[in-house]
Structure 1
């Protein structure tokens, strides 16, 4: 049986097929299941899960205001991957520019620093997606 996470964001999208091309072909997600008649897909990438739902003004969807691009202002979704280089390659091949170039970053977490190789890309509707390759931990040099 498919395991659903306790927290799964559902993103409203303008064109489900374009979004699936990005999320599946470029980022590497698989379609766990979908309801094409509802413009809905549930995606999974090694336990990172997201739902996509195509905007339909006649479907009574839970919209608190009119949608305008870029969608998702104020949020970015961090997704762990084994390696960022193949994802960047697929994005380049598909014509997606990076929002923020790939770089190694170390974030303090109490007494250690957590390293990640990361970049940010926007999906077709403008959601910010941050892909992360874990680099390990190291002691904090100074607080």
Structure 2
């Protein structure tokens, strides 16, 4: 049986701004990049994301003209181990990016109630990332 993995590829206005944000604010490492294509592959705790500048060389798969904010109608949920540490880093390095302040929310899931500590960040291109920590003791 194969392991399947979803790795979103997000277009960005400025790859250098995106790289700085994902590394300094979110804490990603750059696994590899292709400078001439304005492409970077980020990884952190098993989560991988690709970013590609819209002005780089090479192919682009765009179904419409991009308009800011990018990623309308989607948010990426990301389970983290230390949500308080990440929230503090975001508050310190990019407080303007916080789209939803930290909260504790209950969600009905089949026959149990999940308790989730969460907050949402909007990256420089408008993509929403919902960081979560699930723990019934929260």
Using the size of structure 1 for normalisation, the TM-score is 0.85
- Is the Cα–Cα contact under 8 Å of residues 33 and 41 in structure 2 kept in the other structure? yes
More helix by share: 2
- Segments ≥4 residues shifted beyond 6 Å: none
Query: Structure 1 CA distance, aligned partners of 2:4 and 2:55?
Result: 26
List runs of 5+ in structure 2 lacking aligned partners. none
- Alpha-carbon distance change, 34 to 58 in structure 1, aligned in 2, over 3 angstroms: closer
Query: Structure 1 CA distance, aligned partners of 2:4 and 2:125?
Result: 24
- Alpha-carbon distance change, 57 to 31 in structure 1, aligned in 2, over 3 angstroms: closer
Query: Structure 2 CA distance, aligned partners of 1:27 and 1:66?
Result: 28
Residue in structure 2 matched with residue 117 of structure 1 by the alignment: 117
Using the size of structure 2 for normalisation, the TM-score is 0.88
5 Å matches for 1:78-117? 78-97=77-96, 98-117=98-117
List runs of 5+ in structure 1 lacking aligned partners. 138-143
How many residue pairs align between the two structures? Answer: 134
Residue in structure 2 matched with residue 14 of structure 1 by the alignment: 13
- SS across alignment from 2:135: strand
Residue in structure 1 matched with residue 131 of structure 2 by the alignment: 131
In the alignment, is residue 72 of structure 1 matched against residue 45 of structure 2? no
In the alignment, is residue 49 of structure 1 matched against residue 23 of structure 2? no
